Structure 1
């Protein structure tokens, strides 16, 4: 059976429509009324691996989109946040942050880009610090991050947030995983 260009175009359009529908399903309007996916008994049987992944993805995507508004990637935000109080050895900043969300050695290019943009100054190759431009960017990014965190925490009482953090950390421990955040 041969496929015509019309058939190929029609299949491509159907695939695009399916992708758009899936994208809409995964990115609900946060202003809509919230409903749990299952009753309590059903939630107890839900896979924690899936829901922790989905929460991770949704929160990180949201934070990254907000930082993009001020011209930063998330790893760049981590870097400027580490030097907010003054110069630090570049290698110390790299070593501390390279494990965050598995960014790894790509963090070196993020630091280099911040230097090229005039956000960071260097004292030789040993230390990095914020420039005046960097301080201004840090202020804008901090304000954006506060806005993002307020939205993420909306409707979540502090006691529930604390319980969630303790449960996730315990699950990491129970599975022999490693996680650390200062």
Structure 2
């Protein structure tokens, strides 16, 4: 792949296009890896957050509120949680705490392998310091135009 003709030419490229193209390619690749396990990206987010909760689970409302900010899913996280409960992958206690079932843990572990592989594909040939520099540039651009972004 020819990444550029010259740096001056690259400096004039539209960031909106390249940010969109990178987003589309990366998200499509990750979603394909998740689809191999019958998961959508929003359902993966729920499983992954619950898997990181050390068995304590998470209060449904807090989890849904936190995940609303991921890639503009809006209020559509409630049906995703309900679908995972319906599949027997998540349980909800009377105190509204959500927890993974044994099947949910197993699926999360299998899917994690695919997500890890997809992430490695995306990062292939990019030294960590270049990745960090790219993120800092994007963060600064977001700040410059008064945008908001968050991810941990």
Shared fold per TM-score greater than 0.5: yes
Q: TM-score, normalised by structure 2?
A: 0.94
Q: Which residue of 2 aligns with 1:92?
A: 62
Cα distance between partner residues in 1 of 2:74 and 2:4: 35
- Is 1:162 the counterpart of 2:132 in the alignment? yes
- Is 1:35 the counterpart of 2:5 in the alignment? no
Q: Which residue of 1 aligns with 2:35?
A: 68
Q: Which residue of 2 aligns with 1:44?
A: 11
- Is 1:110 the counterpart of 2:77 in the alignment? no
Cα distance between partner residues in 1 of 2:81 and 2:36: 19
Shift of 1:41: 1.4
For the Cα contact (< 8 Å) 1:98–1:105, is it kept in 2? Answer: yes
Shift of 1:99: 1.2
Q: Which residue of 1 aligns with 2:20?
A: 53
Q: Which residue of 1 aligns with 2:91?
A: 121
- Is 1:79 the counterpart of 2:46 in the alignment? yes
For the pair shown, the structure with the greater C-alpha radius of gyration is: 1
For structure 2, the 5+ residue unaligned runs are none
Cα distance between partner residues in 1 of 2:123 and 2:17: 20
Cα-to-partner distance string for 1:87-129 (whole Å, 9 max, x where unaligned): 1101110010011101011111111100000110110261110
Cα distance between partner residues in 2 of 1:125 and 1:174: 42
**Structure ranking higher on relative contact order (CA contacts 8 Å, 6+ apart):** 2
* Aligned-residue CA RMSD (Å): 1.0
Q: TM-score, normalised by structure 1?
A: 0.79
Provide runs of 4+ in structure 1 moved above 6 Å: none
SS at match of 1:102: coil
- Is 1:153 the counterpart of 2:123 in the alignment? yes
For the Cα contact (< 8 Å) 1:81–1:138, is it kept in 2? Answer: yes
